[in-house]
Structure 1
Amino acid sequence: MVNQFFARAKFFCLIVLLSGYFACSEEPKSDLIQIPVPEKFDDEIYLEDIAKSVERIQLETVEGALLGYIKEVKLLDDKFYVGDSKISVFNREGKFVGRFGNQGSGPGEYGIITSMTLDSEKGLVYIASGKKIMVYNKEGEFLEEKSFRMFVNYVELIKQTPFIMTEEIGIPVDDGFANQTNLIELNSDLDVLDTLPFRTVLLHQVEIGGYPYRHYFSDNGEGVFLYKSVLTSENMIRDTLYRFVDKKFIPYLRLKFERPQSMKESPINDRGYQTLLLHNIMYSANYLIAEYTIEWEKMMFLYDKRSSKGYNLNGGVLDEDGEPLILYPLDLANDIFYFVKSVEYQDATIEEANPVIGVVQLK
């Protein structure tokens, strides 16, 4: 009986030890959300199949309002602020309201616009141009500006606080160079309050990479999220979306591309660049949209957070004409996006018509 007791006790201890061993041997669980992006593309998806509503606005073509390469569209008080090399304002029906601000190099004038953001509560428009930030009221009256030492890559309001993103290029380091990206907090007078280092990219030579469609921050009502692409030559894809909380960048979500991401694993083109480049991750209340390119051809990944269903779309979602479109953020808390569609050029004797702006609320 005693021997039986000790045998059972030894067996129990062995089970406990083995349980502890296997528990310690398990890989630690990560809180990072992983979303797979397949290499193959899904069947064609039409906008009407995924949209609750689609509003198409033909922007008026008049003298002084001819648009070029549209990089950004914002909506404030039922007016569209459209940014190409300048800012043009149109009403909700597409009628041209006027040019915004003045182009030039003097005080209150802007050259190349890299970014703009709107303060809907105060009716202010922030414009990043070169090495300075300018502030106007929504009627286009210049209020103030501030110059900085480095090129201002981006401007955004985060919980009513202005932030700018700068990138210092070609800092000499051991065995090469570094590109340093910082997020800088400003006060209402545009003075620097804090500098938050975000990323350092090490390179063998001085390089810079850019993309005209900059949608770095996503405020979807539940939180503020950040994705900034790296478009210089690296042996990896920067595929992580960060949550911005208490001035900290917390890894939140990763896109796991089935297509090989490393130069060592995947083919690179004859100029030595990676064939897959991830440009934007836009994170709304119920959707994630990723814009990327393969061999410079645009692709779009659409992910429904509620159903955990993803769609990998060659060229984008299709409109009624079968033309692929990329959706960009307009009001992420309400799953509202926009697209820009060129009007077919038909008459060589007149100016080419301004494009159509589509306002899309997803289901």
Structure 2
Amino acid sequence: MDGLFLYICRVESLKYNMNMLKGSSIVSNYESDIAGDYGSSCNKYRRCSMNYIKVFIFAILIVGCTNRSGQNMHENEVEFYTIDIEQCLGTEQTVLMSDIADTVEYIVLKTPDEVVITGIRQVIPYGNYLFIRARGVIYKFRKDGQFVRQIGARGQGPGEYLIAASFFIDPQKKEIVVGEPNQLLYYSIEGNYLRHISRQFSEFALSDSLIWIANYPGHWEKFEALSLTTTGDTVSSIPNKVYGTGQDNGYQVAVTSRMSAPFYHYNGHAFYKGFDDNDTIRKLSGAQATPYAFIDFGKYKLPLEYSPGTSGFATYGYKYLGVPFISEDADYFFFAPENRATGASDFCLYNKKSKCGFIVTDENGQGITDNILGGPNIKLFWITGEYKIGAIEGYQLLESMEQGEYSPIPAFKKQLSGINDDTNQLIILCRNKQSKNK
């Protein structure tokens, strides 16, 4: 019962301040994408209402009695994860690629001379194609790396965008949805412009028939996320806990990692992680945002008085960490805690079964040990139902091969011979491990 008591307190603390409100504005920082620059808390839990706990425990006891009378309850039906960052960074473990993937393939992106692919921020496989966001532009490739076309164009006319901040593919409508800070643009899978919605925001995801948009939660923003109808009307919101604190240096500046991704998708659902400092992951279902996991930053939690946009951040930000992105499969969460000032990061996994996290490393450095191709360790950023995906610059791949002790298989060794400093950034497709029971 003590464990139940702590669990209730934790979940209730995560539900704090989730109201149904309206309104939004965004000030965001995408200049690094335009330039092509590529780089890489635990707050005390709020006390629960004793009345709530008593009612909840009473309900649990009733369910328990029902269970003993013949109905089976499954412990994992309501799963909740707590990712302890201090514990993760204090533990190291080697993970073999063959344990999580069946195949590994490096995709060389072949483009016309005027198209250079670097600074990849997002990769979505769809059918026989790969859709890639790099330097604020969306591109379509075949899975063999052959260039097909650019989606949309840079500009301010119909069907154009200044910078694509994020994108998503709606498999039901077979549409590509591209978001920039002032609008959502819709294209067919073939790349033809269809329509747009005007709205200020930073990042977005689709959940059922609604659009969730995220704002960088500076002290000037009233909400950190909103759900909207397809016509742009607000349905629900997640309030910004630092709104109106007045902790600022006179500027509205969003300081985020270049790899920040406040939304991700897993197992057919959208999830809201929020930006770097946010510690609550919520599972989205229509207008609902249910607490799903908690990132316990511990001593690495950035204090409110040092939030980005304050004078304290420039002085003390280096002491704290953020988690700019997170993704997951059935067994692990994949993430990289990053220093809020320097950008230095550690590639980590959290084992859902053991409830423990760790830095993934071996004698050659951080990343998944590639015992399939015999190449350098691989860091994975995007997880889909079919693939785990990474990206690496050609020159970085060659440097890694020279610096580490690797034994590449002949086919991979032959592929490496065709890579040079001018090669576009490569996509690493790792096909997910198939169940032996299938």
SS of 1:118 mapped into structure 2: strand
SS of 2:240 mapped into structure 1: strand
The residue identity in structure 1 corresponding to 2:102 is: K
Q: Which has the higher strand share?
A: 1
Match of 1:158 among 201, 207, 220: 207
Aligned counterparts of 2:391 and 2:214: Cα–Cα separation in 1: 26
Aligned to 2:349: 302
Cα gap change, 1:263 to 1:210, in 2 (>3 Å) = closer
Cα gap change, 1:186 to 1:26, in 2 (>3 Å) = closer
Aligned to 2:84: 36
Aligned to 1:283: 328
Aligned counterparts of 2:172 and 2:7: Cα–Cα separation in 1: 38
Match of 1:212 among 258, 265, 279: 258
Structure 2 unaligned spans of 5+: 12-80, 305-311, 399-416, 434-438
Match of 1:293 among 338, 341, 364: 338
**1:226–1:242 Cα contact (<8 Å) kept:** yes
The Cα of 1:180 is off from its aligned counterpart by 3.3
Q: Does 1:326 align with 2:372?
A: no
Cα gap change, 1:361 to 1:240, in 2 (>3 Å) = farther
The residue identity in structure 2 corresponding to 1:354 is: N
The Cα of 1:296 is off from its aligned counterpart by 1.8
Cα gap change, 1:305 to 1:351, in 2 (>3 Å) = closer
Match of 2:287 among 208, 233, 247: 247
Aligned to 1:51: 101
Cα gap change, 1:250 to 1:120, in 2 (>3 Å) = closer
Aligned counterparts of 2:141 and 2:3: Cα–Cα separation in 1: 58
**2:262–2:272 Cα contact (<8 Å) kept:** yes
Cα gap change, 1:275 to 1:46, in 2 (>3 Å) = farther
Match of 2:112 among 43, 49, 62: 62
**1:169–1:180 Cα contact (<8 Å) kept:** no
Match of 2:301 among 261, 281, 293: 261
**2:212–2:228 Cα contact (<8 Å) kept:** yes
Cα gap change, 1:44 to 1:258, in 2 (>3 Å) = farther
Aligned to 2:271: 225
The Cα of 1:65 is off from its aligned counterpart by 2.8
Aligned to 1:353: 423
Identity across the alignment (%): 19
Cα gap change, 1:277 to 1:316, in 2 (>3 Å) = farther
Aligned counterparts of 1:198 and 1:261: Cα–Cα separation in 2: 20
The Cα of 1:103 is off from its aligned counterpart by 1.0
Aligned to 1:88: 139
Cα gap change, 1:271 to 1:75, in 2 (>3 Å) = same
Deviation track 1:312-346 (CA, whole Å, cap 9, x = no partner) reads 23643344676454312241xx3732100111288
Alignment TM-score, normalising by the size of structure 1: 0.75
The RMSD of aligned alpha carbons is 3.3
Aligned counterparts of 1:329 and 1:89: Cα–Cα separation in 2: 17
**1:57–1:94 Cα contact (<8 Å) kept:** yes
Instruction: Say which is worse superposed, 97-106 or 295-304, in terms of deviation.
Output: 295-304
Higher Rg of the two aligned structures: 1
Aligned counterparts of 2:218 and 2:165: Cα–Cα separation in 1: 17
The residue identity in structure 1 corresponding to 2:129 is: K
Q: Which has the higher helix share?
A: 2
Cα gap change, 1:230 to 1:339, in 2 (>3 Å) = closer
The Cα of 1:309 is off from its aligned counterpart by 4.8
Question: 1:98-247 to 2 correspondence within 5 Å?
Answer: 98-148=149-199, 150=200, 152-167=201-216, 171=220, 180-187=223-230, 190-201=231-242, 202-205=245-248, 206=251, 207-221=253-267, 223-231=269-277, 238-245=278-285, 247=287
Aligned pairs, number: 318
Cα gap change, 1:270 to 1:145, in 2 (>3 Å) = closer
Aligned counterparts of 1:302 and 1:312: Cα–Cα separation in 2: 7
Cα gap change, 1:327 to 1:179, in 2 (>3 Å) = farther
The Cα of 1:285 is off from its aligned counterpart by 2.9
Deviation track 1:179-199 (CA, whole Å, cap 9, x = no partner) reads 632313122xx3325242342
**1:54–1:361 Cα contact (<8 Å) kept:** yes
Greater RCO (CA < 8 Å, at least 6 residues apart): 2
The Cα of 1:97 is off from its aligned counterpart by 0.9
Aligned counterparts of 1:122 and 1:110: Cα–Cα separation in 2: 22
SS of 1:30 mapped into structure 2: helix
Cα gap change, 1:167 to 1:358, in 2 (>3 Å) = same
SS of 2:169 mapped into structure 1: strand
Cα gap change, 1:272 to 1:121, in 2 (>3 Å) = same
Aligned counterparts of 2:173 and 2:286: Cα–Cα separation in 1: 24
